[in-house]
Structures are given as C-alpha cells and as structure tokens.
Structure 1
Amino acid sequence: MKKITAIILMFIILTGAFNVYAAQIDNIITKEKAISIVKDKLGDIKYDNLNVQYREFTNKDSVWILSYTKNDIFENTSITLNAKTGDIIRYNFISDYNGSKNLNRNDAKKIADEFLNKVKPTNLSKYKFDSAHENDTYREYNFKWRREENGVKFLYDTINVSVDKKTGYVTHYTYDWTEGDLPTLKNVIDINEATKLFKGYLRPRLVYTIIYDKNKGDVKLVYVSPSPQYMINAYTGDIIDINGTKVELKNTGEGKITLDKFYNKSSKPVTKDEAYKIASKYASKDYELKNTAYIEKYAGLDLNVWTFAWNKVNGTGYLHVAVNANTGNVVDVLKSTKSDLSLSISRETALKKAESFIKDNFKDIVPYLDFRSNTENQTGEEVYGYHFVFPLKQYNIPFINNGITVDVDGKGNVSAYTYKNYDIPIPMPSNIMTQDEITDKYLKNGNFSLKYYKPEGKDIIPVYTVDDPIYSNLIDAISGEIIKPY
C-alpha cells in the first residue's frame, strides 16, 4: 500500500483535480460509503465545497480521495481511503488559523492517540509506537508507529501523525500496510555476520555536500550511507538493491584525505561582456543567444552570477551557462540535444564514451574528478540511454554537488551534460570522525537489525538494514548525528 502515496501525488500534479464517480465494482466501496466512513470516524467536517475523486492503478490498488474546502476562513481537509478495505490511509489538514496554544509533546501525543483511535485502521494492533523517533519541526510534533510481527519490524510499514503545536490540530496522517505472507525466519544469517557484511561493503563514505537551512546553502562534510539503495538479504548474505536484485559491490576502503589536492580557481570580478566571452566558449556556431540575466544568491548560495542561455538554430538543442560575477569562474553549465531512442550499446561502452568526452572537453579538472562512482551497479537508469556522474574532488573528497554528469544515448552519442563547480567556501577536513567510528554509531543509532521487506512485484523477504534508510543517509562528519532532510 505504501506505493500508492507516490503514485497519487504524481498523478494529481500531472493531471490536476477532477471528479470521477466510480460505478459499482466488485469489492469496491461506493462514493456514498466512503463519505459515510469519514463521517462515522471523524464526525461532521465543516465545508463549503466537497470534491470527490476515484483512482485505480495498474497494480490493482484503488482509492477514494475526498477534499473538503471551507471558504470563510480557508481550510482544506484531504482524506484518502483504501477503496477495498475502507481504511483511511492519508489525511492532510491545512488552515489559515494560526492558533495560540503552546502544546508540549506529551499533550500532542495524547491528541495523536485520540486521532488514531478514531480512524482505527484495520491492522492498528500490529503497530508499536516508536518512542525513540523525534523528528519535530518548529511548528509540528511528529509521531511514528512501526509495524512489528514476530519481534521483527516491517520496513516502511509505518503510521505517522503530525500535531500542530499552536492549534492542537492533527495536520498529517499516513498509514502504510504491505499485503503478503510473512517468510520464515529460519536459516537467516545472524546480526554479527550481517554487521560484518555491512562494514565490508556498505560503510558510509565521506563527501562534501550542500546543506540548506531556511533556503540558504552551505558546504558541509558529511558521511553518506548507501542504505536507501542497498540492504542485505538475510537468507543469502547477498547485497541487494531496492528491487531485491543481487549486486556486486567493491569492498569499501577509507579514502585518503590529501590537503594539497585542491582545485584552484581564478578570482577576478567580471563585467557582463567579460562573462559572456567566458560562457560563449561552450556555445558552437549553430547556437543563438536567447537571454542574459544577473542573479544574486544563485541556487540559494552566496553566489552572484551572470547567466546566458542559447538555443540551437536548426534542430533540438539548449545551452545554459552561469559565470560567477565576482571571480569569473564558470559555476554551472547545462547542455542538451536530441538523443537517439534506440538502445544498441552496452553500459560499459557508454561509460567509455562519457569518460572520453570529459577527457577531451575538461582536461584541466580531470585529475580532480572521481571516476569510481560509475563502476558499481546502477539502478533506475533511463530505458533509452545511460546517465553517469563524476563528482569533483576537493582534498581528494568527492563534492557531490560539484562535478560533471554525462548522458549517453543508445547509439553512443552524448545527448546531454552538466558541469557544476559552485565557487563557494569549502571547509577544511579537520576534527572529523573516522569511517569506522561513524559506521558503528550509525548502526547503533539506526537500529540495524532484521526487517521484513517486500520488493516491488516480489515476495516478502527478511533483510538487514536500519529503521529509516531514506531519512538517515546523511551523517554529520564531526558529530556523527543524522542530518534531518529539512
């Protein structure tokens, strides 16, 4: 059921809201029944307009979406029900009312409990409250319950409730439940063997990245965990991806920090004409300049830039270049052209094409690029081509926001590339925790343990991973604490 959420959001964004009234279908509750369930569980919701949608998906899931809107003081209550079970699986409430309360966490938890007792999803008794989970925001308290059976948690099967600190209203609720028979836990590898495998192949790696706080970005040293993408099959000990497919990864060694390996750039303010001369080196004669702009705080960073955009005169093609107005350095390039949709070359051949393109066009930064990130199994690549990423290294540490990406189409042509080299202060790699220290803390704080997991279209299997792989993959390199995604 958890796959429903992403599909719903994408579908609504792409198609817009419209009314769909389903005919009577076997095992599907009617519109009237859906409205009645909401009234029985949540009482009379005051509204001026009610929009009802019915959705069916290719995986045979179906939902009713009820949207109640009030006009005198703007309020919207959006409720999604499983059209087969009648369970309320999503609830979102927004309002112009600001409130004046100052709830503490205990009072907010009581409100969350009361709400759960009202919606009462079918399998509520199989979820346990996670008292260790605290991911509150400045405005909301967030509470989480995890599905647990046979003493084993089910990865991503959670109930989440958010309570507004000022109004006391429940603002968000989600209920995720995965159907399927639970597998036997006999003959699974033990936690010690799983930990050894994790430390061998899945240890967090040290990188630079940009962390945003209130729309302002700064470069930080962090350790990145591969846990969202990979986990350990508890039957075989294989490293598997999110599709349940075995992958071959190299043993993760600790990178050597080299303080003298720093990509030096120029530092001279430039006028618009000087910036254009620098940027136009990326434009061939068959490209025509379309617009120029001066932008402050480019990409939310302390960057003032001149930007230039070209279109190809005949055919398909686009080029964007940004030049730092204070230093004259090129900080952003994006170029795309028509690609061949047939797929006739291998990934290995495409990678060689991408590497050759970089060596021919970016000779000065080749010694500072990380070519290792494309040697491992990649998932989620385009059907009609390949996408490769080459981070730019500073002090021999990959800066994952800076670097070059190359798209190679099915015929081996470079169909698009980007070059980013954000010209902003980069902290020295000092006083940071070692990879071993970070790994031990990550496994402990993340509750690395046996879990149930269901890959898309496959049976449920036992795996070893942490409780929240998606939300715990960025770790502060100095403190070892998880960096929240917002």
Structure 2
Amino acid sequence: MKRKKILSLILTVCLAVSIISMPAFGAETDSKGLEQAVVTMKQVVVIPDSYKDFTHSSSQYDIGDQKVTIWNLEWENSDDNNGYISASIDENGDVLTYNKYSPSESSNGLAKITKEDAQKSAEEFLNKVIPSYSNQMKKIDTNSNNPSSDQYNFTYQQFVDNTPVDFNRVEISVSKSTGEVTSYTGLNPGAKMSDYPATSGVINLNTAEKSYIDKLGVHLEYYSSYDYKEKIKCFSGLFS
C-alpha cells in the first residue's frame, strides 16, 4: 500500500512538471519565430526609427493536414498620424504581404516618379523579398494602372523555360510621389517552388486535338436552344 502511495505521488509530480514545462517550451518557440520574422522583414525594408510602436500577433493557416504559422507585424509612426508599416511572414521566412502608408507622403498632384523608375523599385524589392527565384518573375500587363491613382501597380508572374506558371503571381504597388514600394502581395502561406518537368517533347495543339478524337472518341448529336422568343434553334456538334 505504501509503495502504491509513493508511486502515485511520483506520477502526480511528473504530470505537474510536464504541464508547467509545455507552455514554457511553446513560449520559447514563439519567441524565436517572432524574432526571425522581424529579422527577415528588416532585411527586406528599412524600418525608420520614427516607427516606434511595434505590435504583433500570430495565426495558423491550414495546408492539407499541416498547419503553417503566420506572423503579423506592424510598426506605427508616432510622429505621423496613422502612418504604419505592416507585414505578414510565414514560419518558412517567406514574406506574404507588405504595406506602408504615410499621410505626409501621399501624392496630390502630378507624379514625381516615372513608371520606368517605379518598375526598377519594384524589381529591386522582388530581388530582396524572393531572391531565390526573382529571376523567374516577369512583368505581365494586366491593365491595372489608374492614371488618377497615386500608385503604379505591377504584376509579376513566374515563368519556367518561358512557360508561364499561372498560379504563381505577385502584386507590387509603388508610390508615384516617393518611388517606394507601398504594398506587396506574394505567394500563399507555406508555398514552395516546385520542380517543373521539362517542356521538351511536348506535343502541339493540333496533335493534341487529333489524339483526343482518335483515342477518346467523339460522336455527333443534335441539341436545342430556346431563345426566349418562342423559337427553338437546333444545332449539331461533336461531343465526347
């Protein structure tokens, strides 16, 4: 009986110690993650000394059966009403978003920065924020620039062997007044650049269409369409 009491006491103490130590370990991990996120952001942009009020939070993003931690950082400028710099960075050190706003730097007239110089700023930013594959990103035309806006907007898409990767795009805005990058939207949390197969041996469109017809097969059918004028139109087409 005495041995059972001693064993029970030991188990109780071990359980209590484990409960106490787990939050401490979690806090230490969170502290390192936060520190790394701040270091990463300061390697990309300069945080002026006037942006003294620093706040942060973390969240988790589900990717399949895994969770990726995201750090949300914000520095506020106590000398400039509502001025701030914010960013979100995942646990892999990838910058997901970046925003900078300063009322005193807002443009109220003609642009002081040319679009060409703004593009240079955007691409310099790209080289810092995604250095490992910025050389694969090419500017594409999305007709997103508004002449009345105080920002130049650029969209960059990944190209591998001159083949576009539709799901890897980033958006960058540059101030027409200062030439600084004011916003950036990058890849999804936890995204990793894939190994893409070679394009050698890829068949052309005509060959693909012929192969589809020959191997999968299609047949001719009649279909009808009602045009809301009490008329039914019939047409024929090839369907698989």
Q: How would you bin the TM-score normalised by the shorter chain?
A: 0.5 to 0.7
Cα offset, 1:142, TM superposition: 0.9
Q: Per the alignment, do residues 192 and 23 of structure 1 end up closer, same or farther by CA in structure 2, a change over 3 Å counting?
A: farther
| AA of the residue aligned to 2:205 | I
Deviations 1:63-120 (A, max 9, x none): 2111111133221211111212x12221112222223543221121122123223334
Select 2:187's aligned residue among 176, 190, 194. 176
Cα offset, 1:141, TM superposition: 1.0
**Aligned partners of 1:35, 1:176: CA distance in 2, in Å?**
19
Counterparts of 1:187-266 in structure 2, within 5 Å, are: 190-192=204-206
Deviation >4 Å, runs of 4+: 183-189, 250-256
Q: Per the alignment, do residues 255 and 182 of structure 1 end up closer, same or farther by CA in structure 2, a change over 3 Å counting?
A: farther
Select 1:37's aligned residue among 27, 36, 40. 40
Contact 2:44 2:125 in 1 (8 A): no
Deviations 1:8-52 (A, max 9, x none): xxxxxxxxxxxxxx63559x9521122122223312333132111
Does residue 173 of structure 2 align to residue 162 of structure 1? yes
TM-score (norm 2): 0.61
Counterparts of 1:262-301 in structure 2, within 5 Å, are: none
Rg larger for: 2
Q: Per the alignment, do residues 111 and 61 of structure 1 end up closer, same or farther by CA in structure 2, a change over 3 Å counting?
A: same
SS in 2 for 1:71: coil
Deviations 1:406-441 (A, max 9, x none): xxxxxxxxxxxxxxxxxxxxxxxxxxxxxxxxxxxx
Select 1:54's aligned residue among 52, 58, 63. 58
Relative to its length, the structure with more helix (as a share) is 2
Q: In structure 2, what is the equivalent of residue 105 of structure 1?
A: 115
| AA of the residue aligned to 2:90 | N
Query: How many residue pairs are counted as aligned between the two chains?
Result: 185
Counterparts of 1:67-106 in structure 2, within 5 Å, are: 67-73=74-80, 74-84=82-92, 86-97=93-104, 98-99=106-107, 101-106=111-116
Cα offset, 1:159, TM superposition: 2.3
Q: Per the alignment, do residues 154 and 29 of structure 1 end up closer, same or farther by CA in structure 2, a change over 3 Å counting?
A: farther
SS in 1 for 2:62: coil
User: Which residues of structure 2 form unaligned runs of 5+?
Assistant: 1-25, 214-220, 231-240
**Aligned partners of 2:222, 2:32: CA distance in 1, in Å?**
52
Aligned CA RMSD, in angstroms, stands at 3.8
Contact 1:128 1:148 in 2 (8 A): yes
Q: Per the alignment, do residues 185 and 255 of structure 1 end up closer, same or farther by CA in structure 2, a change over 3 Å counting?
A: farther
SS in 1 for 2:42: helix
Select 1:116's aligned residue among 103, 113, 126. 126
Deviations 1:136-182 (A, max 9, x none): 12222111221111332111201221112234332211222743443
| AA of the residue aligned to 2:136 | K
SS in 1 for 2:159: strand
Q: In structure 2, what is the equivalent of residue 285 of structure 1?
A: none
Contact 1:88 1:119 in 2 (8 A): yes
Counterparts of 1:424-443 in structure 2, within 5 Å, are: none
**Aligned partners of 1:154, 1:40: CA distance in 2, in Å?**
27
Q: In structure 2, what is the equivalent of residue 129 of structure 1?
A: 139
Deviations 1:215-238 (A, max 9, x none): xxxxxxxxxxxxxxxxxxxx979x
Q: Per the alignment, do residues 129 and 252 of structure 1 end up closer, same or farther by CA in structure 2, a change over 3 Å counting?
A: farther
Q: Per the alignment, do residues 44 and 129 of structure 1 end up closer, same or farther by CA in structure 2, a change over 3 Å counting?
A: same
TM-score (norm 1): 0.33
